Amino acid sequence: MDPATIQLLQSVPLFSGLTEAQWECLEPGEVITVPAGTVLVPEGERCPFFFVVLDGELRLSRTYDRQSVLMGVIKPGQYTGEVTLLLDIPWLASARAGKTTTLFRLKSDDFWRMLSHCPVLARGIFQFAAAKMRNMEGYSQQREKLASLGTMAAGLAHELNNPAAAARRAATHLRETTDKAQVLLCKLSKNLTHDQWHELALASQAGMDRLAGAPVLDHIERSDREDRIATWLQSRGVATPWDLAPTFVRADVAISWLETLANQLPAASQADALAWLESRLNLKLLLTQVEQSTGRISELVKAMKSYSYMGEAAQQETDIHAGIESTLLMLGHKLKNVTVKLSLDRSLPRILTYGSELNQVWTNLIDNAIDAVNGAGKICISTCQEDDQLVVEIVDYGSGIPPDIQPHIFEPFFTTKPVGAGTGLGLIISHRIIADRHGGEIEFESQPGETRFKVRIPLHRKSAD
């Protein structure tokens, strides 16, 4: 190696203790200079080089959910690329020159020759690579948890929006309908006798009863009934008959029934009486909408609390089915076009688990299953007991995992998703939660058209707290 290159490399701590003979390990390397902004290696691609920064800087960034996140800056005297060469994996981050940068680079074959011929360099590189992997994995695990939380939060916001909007609309219509009913009530009280009021009140109660048992009509039949009733209401002098007709149809009220009621009332009051009756029925419908919408909101909040185990001990007796169901509820926005078949053994006992961590496992596995069926297929989830283990099985009927990929799915940072769409840590985190935290195991089998994950958790464990 020429003296000028050796002089440059002597400023690098990794090489500072090399003897004259050991410098020969670096002989095949070369010094290059790249302008600021140069992308040396794109994220997710392979690069057959080990890089040492001599001057300038390399900025490493990784894409998370379509956002670029700075992972670190490689300063003069530091190096990078050793992890990808040691593990034979694509680069986990993009490397870009932050300014005009001078680099020493070594091809992969020469890198391995350096390690085999120079133990002191090998030891230093292995120690540094192990520390870097621990730091990067820890950071990425936190990002994975935050990404999962973001997915849950987005889903919860989406799921809450519909019932909240429905409740608000119903509340607005309630105010309008109540005001309308009050006005009509004042007018009718001046014109109806006690007996006529009694008949109208009986009709109102009968209409309420009909609402509870009214059949569900298809669009064509409902539209035909609304037209017939609106036409009849118009003949009785009712204002805006097409606005009132849908309520009578929803209450399964026939024209003959309305005719009988109208004939018991004074002709001058029939229109107001029919409008008041519609208001009463509509108030009932609107109150039901508010009740259903707020009930849905309450259900979602309860599911979120159950999902996160807010305010509860980390390890506790857990109903495994409650966790699965709350996870499905939280992922509801992604399941709109997915058929989920549940076969749950409700006789299974509660088991000692870290509930929120276990829910992260269900989230990872079910979310992967949704992706496997492209958000529009079939997923089956079942529970059972085998020997002294509780078994949760999640099956998707997607394209399957290719055989050449199957040996790698539990490896850190391995992902088949596009760059930025996944961290490659979902399955390994799930495996560690099940194996290390719960003493269980995750197994899988896959073929074209079907992928089956089985999670096994011991039924009887001592508390680790």
Structure tokens at 299: 């259900």
| Position 454, amino acid | K
Domain 3-117's class? mainly beta
Task: Say if CB 26 and CB 1 are below 8 A apart.
Answer: yes
Structure tokens at 175: 């105010």
What one-character-per-residue DSSP string does 366-388 give? HHHHHHHTTTSSEEEEEEEEETT
Instruction: Give the rounded percent of residues in the chain with a pLDDT score beyond 90.
Output: 27
Task: Say if CB 104 and CB 150 are below 8 A apart.
Answer: no
Most confident range, picked from 17-31, 62-76, 272-286: 272-286
| Mean pLDDT, residues 24-29 taken together | 85
| Position 327, amino acid | T
Give the model's confidence band at 340: pLDDT under 50 very low, under 70 low, under 90 confident, else very high: very high
Q: pTM for the complete prediction?
A: 0.49
Q: Give pLDDT tens digits for 353-362.
A: 887 788 888 9
Confidence (pLDDT) at 310? 46
Instruction: Give the rounded percent of residues in the chain with a pLDDT score beyond 70.
Output: 86
Confidence (pLDDT) at 96? 93
309: helix, coil or strand?
Answer: coil
230 φψ region: left (φ > 0), alpha (ψ -120 to 50), beta (else): alpha
Contacts of 220 (CB under 8 A, 6+ apart): none
Q: Order of strands, edge to edge, in the sheet holding 389-396? A: 339-343, 378-386, 389-396, 450-458, 441-447
Distance CA 368, CA 151 (A): 13
Strand-pairing partners, residue 74, are 58
Please determine, for residue 420, whether its predicted confidence score (pLDDT) is greater than 50: no
Phi, psi of 98 (to 5 degrees): -75, -25
Task: Say if CB 211 and CB 285 are below 8 A apart.
Answer: yes
Contacts of 17 (CB under 8 A, 6+ apart): 120
Q: Residue 50: enclosing H or E segment and its boundaries? A: strand 49-55
Structure tokens at 102: 């001078």
In sign, the C-alpha dihedral spanning 443, 143, 415, 130 is negative
Structure tokens at 144: 């994975």
CA-angle at 87, arms to 91 and 130, nearest 5°: 95
Q: Residue 96: enclosing H or E segment and its boundaries? A: strand 94-97
CATH topology agreement for domains 3-117 and 315-458: no
| Mean pLDDT, residues 247-261 taken together | 89
| Mean pLDDT, residues 270-282 taken together | 91
Distance of CA 217 to the CA centre of its chain: 34
Place of tokens 């410098």: 23
Q: Give pLDDT tens digits for 137-161.
A: 555 555 555 555 556 666 666 667 7
Please determine, for residue 40, whether its predicted confidence score (pLDDT) is greater than 80: yes
Q: Where are the domains of the chain?
A: 3-117, 153-299, 315-458
Per-residue HEC secondary structure of 226-254 comes to: HHHHHHHHHHCCCCCHHHHHHHHHHCCCC
The reply to whether CATH 3.30.70.1560 applies to domain 315-458 is no
Task: Say if CB 245 and CB 226 are below 8 A apart.
Answer: yes
Distance CA 209, CA 199 (A): 15
Please determine, for residue 382, whether its predicted confidence score (pLDDT) is greater than 90: yes
Task: Say if CB 453 and CB 409 are below 8 A apart.
Answer: no
Q: How far is CA 165 from CA 160, 162, 289, 299, 301, in A?
A: 8, 5, 11, 16, 16
What one-character-per-residue DSSP string does 156-216 give? HHHHHHHHHHHHHHHHHHHHHHHHHHHHHHHHHHTT--HHHHHHHHHHHHHHHHHHHHPPP
Distance CA 96, CA 91 (A): 12
368: helix, coil or strand?
Answer: helix
Strand-pairing partners, residue 318, are 351
